[in-house]
Structure 1
Amino acid sequence: MKQALKWAVLACGISLLAACSDSTDNRAAARQNTLEAAKASGKIRIGYANEAPFAYMDSASGKVTGEAVEIARVILGRMGVKEVEGVLTEFGSLIPGLQAGRFDIIAAGMYITPERCKQASFSNPSYGVGEGFLVKKGNPKGLHSYDDIKNNADVKMGVVVGAIQSEYAQKVGIDGGQVIIFPDPVSALSGVEGGRADVYAATALTVNDLMNKVTDQALEKAEPFTEPNIDGVDLRGYGAFAFRNADTEFTEAFNKELASFIGTPEHAKLVEPFGFTRDELPGDVTAAKLCGQ
């Protein structure tokens, strides 16, 4: 009896292990086959953070648009995926949302950084751009660089949650107490208008886009502006699309189509309405280089 019971327990344990193994394998297979699933259904979900000109909801058309979104539509269309569904997400929650399967691509103009490369797989960049400041009219505190903020403890610097500018501030030595976190660019703009922050730090393209929308002339772009210098290097950010680490095949296929599109007349025409010019082309910079691989 004891011997029979022992074999029964052993068999049950083996069965449970096999079931767990099958379940794990199935989940892994499901993630590895994201591209095939998207082709089969003809649609895919992209995560975005409502930051013009990269990705935002156009109220007039009720459609998600922007540089990243429109490029994604073209590239995915060439791959046989015709429908793109946007999933609005706070910027700082984009990578966790991708990992959790809320969507399958991040199309938000997200900079490639070594830290982010540990959490997601990036396409090669679709653009490269410098930084910019949004300040009150007349720039009353004379803010033209990150060093100007570091050297004046009374200055409050607005950044969007999860954005690279928080990292820049930390690396140049700006005190954490000077940094005010906002959920999105529009809130940051309002924060500067209302005096909660003295400056909003963002990409130059984001600042340009916001200035095009300001009607009361209470704000202006800080000019001239000196790019942040970290470890002797003037920074230039490169934005790209992010995928789950397991989606290697998907990332490679996307990169292949992207390489034949970026820099073409079709690409220039597509992104021109969002303020992108040849000056923002990424050149020969790759995700591998930016990830430090």
Structure 2
Amino acid sequence: RVGFANEAPFGFATPDGKLTGEAPEVAKAVLARMGIDEVDGVLTEFGSLIPGLKAGRFDLIAAGMFVNPARCGEIAFSEPSYGIGQALLVPAGNPNGIADYASIKDNPDLKLAVMAGAVEAGYASDAGVATEQVVSLPDQSSLVAAVQAGRADAAALTALSIADMAKKAEGVESTTPFGEVAGKSVKGHGAFGFRKEDTDLLEAFNAELTAFLGTPEHFALVEPLGFGADYLPNLTTAELCAAQ
């Protein structure tokens, strides 16, 4: 059983209930190499993925979750399966001329929507965005609706998620992706989450994952979802967990 948060293109359910996305597809391929062919998805709000894993609701997180030191303190991570920057969802035509988090900071009248439990609230804080400018919402559809309705002037997620949201929703568009906030890299690296005690499972998963990444089979799975050679990771989990 794998936990996912319905965040396209990282992990989501199709209208007919099929579990797909970069993380579930890679997880299914890796688990098949381990002799595990049946994989059930457990839909969970992003902010509840780590508590759900620790409570035993599922055996791993397949949601494209970024590796960072705080999360490394709670759970164990596989090696990353991708690395990616940030973008903002804004109203069509970008009437406020928003480019990045600094644009929000520089205009105290603007509101920024972020997904509860995701890294973007921290990026906003690092950029100097005031707490009262930030609106925390549970999922992607809430972010889109907030921008469409004018309850938020922008919404923040990874560049791929924002591009996917802009493609599917009316009246919104993506800013140009960016890789730095307040002089620091915000290229996030997504990996699979495991309970700290499940060391044998993690070790076996990592062995097959690292052999799989970058192969033609891997690219055939993830390129239709917007991933490819440009999104291969360039940092290890050990480096990400030790980051300042």
What is the rounded CA distance, in whole Å, between the counterparts of 1:122 and 1:83 in structure 2?
22
> In the alignment, residue 173 of structure 2 is paired with which amino acid?
E
What is the rounded CA distance, in whole Å, between the counterparts of 2:17 and 2:186 in structure 1?
35
| Alignment equivalent of 1:77, drawn from 32, 35, 42 | 32
Q: What is the SS of the residue equivalent to 1:83? A: coil
Q: What is the SS of the residue equivalent to 1:260? A: helix
What is the rounded CA distance, in whole Å, between the counterparts of 1:172 and 1:164 in structure 2?
13
Question: Aligned residue for 1:55?
Answer: 11
Number of residue-to-residue matches in the alignment: 243
Q: What is the SS of the residue equivalent to 1:140? A: coil
What is the rounded CA distance, in whole Å, between the counterparts of 1:62 and 1:148 in structure 2?
39
What is the rounded CA distance, in whole Å, between the counterparts of 2:45 and 2:100 in structure 1?
27
Contact 1:56 1:66 in 2 (8 A): yes
More helix by share: 1
Deviations 1:91-130 (A, max 9, x none): 0010000001011100000000000000000000000000
Structure number with higher relative contact order (C-alpha < 8 Å, ≥ 6 residues apart): 2
| Alignment equivalent of 1:145, drawn from 78, 96, 100 | 100
Q: How does 1:243-262 map to 2 (within 5 A)?
A: 243-262=194-213
> In the alignment, residue 251 of structure 1 is paired with which amino acid?
L
What is the rounded CA distance, in whole Å, between the counterparts of 1:226 and 1:244 in structure 2?
32
What is the rounded CA distance, in whole Å, between the counterparts of 2:199 and 2:158 in structure 1?
29
What is the rounded CA distance, in whole Å, between the counterparts of 1:222 and 1:168 in structure 2?
16
Contact 2:92 2:172 in 1 (8 A): yes
> In the alignment, residue 92 of structure 1 is paired with which amino acid?
G
Deviations 1:108-158 (A, max 9, x none): 000000000000000000000000011001111111011111111111001
| Normalised TM-score (structure 2) | 0.97
Question: Aligned residue for 1:240?
Answer: 191
Q: How does 1:75-154 map to 2 (within 5 A)?
A: 75-154=30-109
Contact 1:109 1:240 in 2 (8 A): yes
| Alignment equivalent of 2:226, drawn from 258, 269, 275 | 275
In structure 2, runs of 5+ residues without a counterpart are none
CA displacement at 1:234 relative to structure 2 = 2.4
What is the rounded CA distance, in whole Å, between the counterparts of 1:140 and 1:280 in structure 2?
30
Question: Aligned residue for 1:31?
Answer: none
Question: Aligned residue for 1:13?
Answer: none
The answer to whether the aligner puts 1:228 opposite 2:180 as a matched pair is yes
Deviations 1:208-251 (A, max 9, x none): 1112212x3x111113x543324x32220000000001111111
| Normalised TM-score (structure 1) | 0.81
In structure 1, runs of 5+ residues without a counterpart are 1-44
What is the rounded CA distance, in whole Å, between the counterparts of 1:228 and 1:201 in structure 2?
14
What is the rounded CA distance, in whole Å, between the counterparts of 2:179 and 2:22 in structure 1?
23
> In the alignment, residue 181 of structure 1 is paired with which amino acid?
S
Contact 2:85 2:178 in 1 (8 A): no
What is the rounded CA distance, in whole Å, between the counterparts of 1:199 and 1:261 in structure 2?
37
Contact 2:113 2:135 in 1 (8 A): yes
Contact 1:129 1:238 in 2 (8 A): yes
| Alignment equivalent of 1:155, drawn from 110, 115, 127 | 110
Question: Aligned residue for 1:289?
Answer: 239
> In the alignment, residue 85 of structure 1 is paired with which amino acid?
D
> In the alignment, residue 147 of structure 1 is paired with which amino acid?
A
Deviations 1:161-213 (A, max 9, x none): 10100111112221111111111011100110001100011100001111221
